[in-house]
Amino acid sequence: MKTISVACKTVLLAMVAGSAAAASGTGAAATGLEQTVFSAVKDKLSGLFWRVGQQPLEEEVEEEVKEKEGYVPDWSQYEDETVLRFNWTTARERKAFVDATKTLVLDVWRVGKHSGDVRLHQARVPNLLRLLPKSLRRAESRRVMIADLEHAVHSTQPESREVVDFSTKSSMDIQTVSELFFSDFRSLESIYQWLDILEETFPEQVRTEVIGKTHEGRDIRVYHLYSSQRNVSGKKKTIVITGGTHAREWVSVSTVLYSLYTLLVHHGSRGNGAGGEDNILDKLDFLIVPVLNPDGYVYTWEHDRLWRKNRQDTGVPLCRGIDIDSSFPYHWKPSMGTPCSEGYAGQAALEAEEARAFTKYINATSERHQYFGYLDWHSYSQTILHPYGYSCKETPRDAENLLELAYGMARAIRWSSGKMYSVLPSCEDREYDPDDSEGGCALDYMYKMHAIWALQIKLRDTGNHGFLLPKKFIVPVGEEIFSALRYFCDFILNPEDESYGSN
C-alpha cells in the first residue's frame, strides 16, 4: 500500500511537471514568470488530488505500519532510482539545473558552485535532460554517483533495527558503553538513553533542558555543558552547536554526539584533561542540540531513510514537512517550489516548530550566555561555509578574521585526518542563483542576531556515498571534526594568538 501511494504521487507530479515543461517549450528551462505560474498550478492540483477521501493515504499507511511488529522500511520505494552529478562552468547552466529540478520536483542532494547532485528514478532522466541546455545534456557533463540507490540504502542500514537499550548499560564504564554506542548509527530512543547515562556520569557538568515540542509531540532537547569548578556568576562565553536539522544527515547527529562526549571525557573537570590547559569546559560553556529535527529523524528510521524535512502538516497531505533550515527569520522568503519540494520554507518565518522553539530559547537565554560561537553541522560535501547564505552581495562583518577561522578549521581537519575541506560563502552552496536573495537559514540568523563567529560545516563525503555514509566513518569523522572544534575554541579564547591549533 505504501509503494502504491509513492507511485501515485510520482505519477501525478510527473504529469503536472510534464505539462509545465510542454507549456514552456520543449527542451527549454522555464523562465522566472513561467516557473511561478507552474509552481502555483502544481500546488493547486496537488491539493485537489490529494485531499480526496476521509483520511490522507499517507496517514492510513502510517497507521498500518504502527500495527506491525519489528517493521522494516520498504526498500522498494528506492527501486530503479539513481543519483547523478551534473558539472557546469557557467552561472546560466547552474540556474538551468536548479530550475529544471524544481520544475520536476526532484530531490536535489547538493548544489555547489560547479556541480550539483540529484536523485531521481531512471525513467525520469530523459525528462530532466529535455529541460536542460544542450551543454548539460552531453554525456561528459554528468556522471553516476550512486547507480543503485535501493542497494545503497539497504547496505548502509544499522546491523539491527531494534532499539539498543542503553539504559540497561548504565553500570558499565562510560568509555566502554560509548565505544558500543559509536559503533553504529543509533535510533532517537537509544541516543536519549545514552545521553541520560552521560548526565548521570557527569551530573555537575551536564544539564538537559527541553526547549519545545515537535509537531508529533517529541521533546526537542538541548544539553548544557559547563565546568563545576568555575564561578557561575555573570555571562559566560558560550558556543552553540546544532545537528540533525535535516533528518537524513545521520552523520551530523553522530558527530555532534562525538564532540559532546569528547568534551566531557577528555576536556572536562573530571576528564583526562582535568586541572590542565586542556580543560575546555573550565573556559567555555556549550549549548548542544544533537537532534534539532526529532520527528524527521525517527521517520528516517521507520519509513524513509532519505526524508529531509520535519513532519509538519502543510495543507497537502502527501507533501508533509517544512525545511527547518529555511524557516529562520533573518531575510526569510517563501519558497518558489511546492510543499512537495525538499526546501519548502512554509508560509511564514518560524513556521517550522523546531526553528521557533530554538530561536525562542536562544533569545530567552541571551541574558545568561555570551554567545561567542555557533556551529551548525550538516552533510555532505566536506565544506566549511561562512555567512551569508541569503545573498553573495552581502559581506560579513570582520570578514578577514572569519575567513582565517574557517581556513584554520579546515587546516586542523587536514592535520588530523588528511581530508580536504573547502571554504565557501554559504550563498554559493544553496539551491538558487547566488545573486538572488533568499534567506531563512540558521547560520545567517545566529551570526546576525547572536553569535560573534558562526560557521556551517558540511561533513564527509564528497558524493560517493552522499547522505548514506557507512558506519565505519562515524569515529573518523567525529575525530577530525573535534580537531576543528578545538581550533574554533582556541580561536575564541585566544583571538590574537597565532599559535592556536598548532598542537
**CA distances from residue 391 to 104, 387, 401, 429, 444 in whole angstroms, order as listed:** 25, 9, 20, 11, 10
The number of beta carbons lying within 10 Å of the beta carbon of residue 386 is: 23
For 278-429, list the strands marked E by DSSP.
Answer: 285-289, 369-379, 383-386, 422-425
Q: Which pLDDT score, from 0 to 100, does residue 16 have?
A: 46
Q: Quote the pLDDT of residue 317.
A: 85
- Full DSSP string of 158-214: -S--SPP-GGGGTTS-HHHHHHHHTTS---HHHHHHHHHHHHHHSTTTEEEEEEEE-
194 close to 164: Cβ distance less than 8 angstroms = no
Burial (CB count within 10 angstroms: exposed 0-12, middle 13-18, buried 19+), residue 435:
exposed
- CA of residue 231 relative to chain centroid, distance: 35
- The 8-class DSSP code of residue 428 comes to G
Residue 81: phi and psi, rounded to 5, are -95, 155
Strand order in the sheet with 81-87: 107-111, 115-121, 81-87, 142-146
Residues across the chain: 503
β-bridge mates for residue 455, sequence order: 375
**Given the C-alpha cell 488530488, which residue does it identify?**
49
Give the model's pLDDT for residue 377. Answer: 98
> What one-letter code names the amino acid at 206?
V
> With 0-12 CB in 10 A as exposed, 13-18 as middle and 19+ as buried, what is 233?
exposed
At residue 28, the pLDDT reads 42
Q: Any idea where the domains of the chain sit in the sequence? A: 2-155, 166-493
CA–CA dist 176, 178 (Å, integer): 5
Taking residue 97's Cβ as centre, other Cβ atoms within 10 Å add up to 26
Instruction: Return d(Cα 461, Cα 458) in angstroms, integer.
Output: 9
Write the CATH number of the domain with boundaries 166-493. Answer: 3.40.630.10
Three-state SS at 242: strand
Quote the pLDDT of residue 382.
Answer: 98
SS (H, E, C) 327-361: CCCCCCCCCCCCCCCCCCCCCCCCCCHHHHHHHHH
Query: What does the radius of gyration of the chain's CA atoms come to, in whole angstroms?
Result: 23
- Fold held by 2-155: Alpha-Beta Plaits (3.30.70)
Q: Which three cell numbers stand for residue 494?
A: 585566544
pLDDT at residue 228, rounded to an integer: 67
Here the cell at position 247 is 533528518
pLDDT tens track of the chain, all 503 residues? 444 444 455 445 544 444 444 444 444 444 443 444 444 444 444 444 433 333 444 444 454 444 444 557 788 999 999 999 999 999 999 999 999 999 999 999 999 989 999 999 999 999 999 999 999 999 999 999 999 999 999 999 998 766 677 777 666 889 999 999 999 999 999 999 999 999 999 999 999 999 999 999 999 999 999 986 655 555 789 999 999 999 999 999 999 999 999 999 987 655 554 444 578 999 999 999 999 999 999 999 999 999 999 999 999 988 999 999 999 999 999 877 789 999 999 999 999 999 999 999 999 999 889 999 999 999 999 999 999 999 999 999 999 999 999 999 999 999 999 999 999 999 998 866 555 556 789 999 999 999 999 999 999 999 999 999 999 999 999 999 999 999 999 999 987 765 554 44
Of residues 451, 61, 90, the one with CA closest to residue 241? 451
Q: Report pLDDT for 222.
A: 98
- Angle of the 294-302 helix axis to the 250-267 helix axis, nearest 10: 120
Residues 6+ apart with CB under 8 A from 114: 87, 88, 89
Q: What is the pLDDT of residue 435?
A: 54
Q: Which residues contact 438 (CB under 8 A, 6 or more apart)?
A: 331, 333, 390, 391, 430, 432
DSSP label at residue 83: E
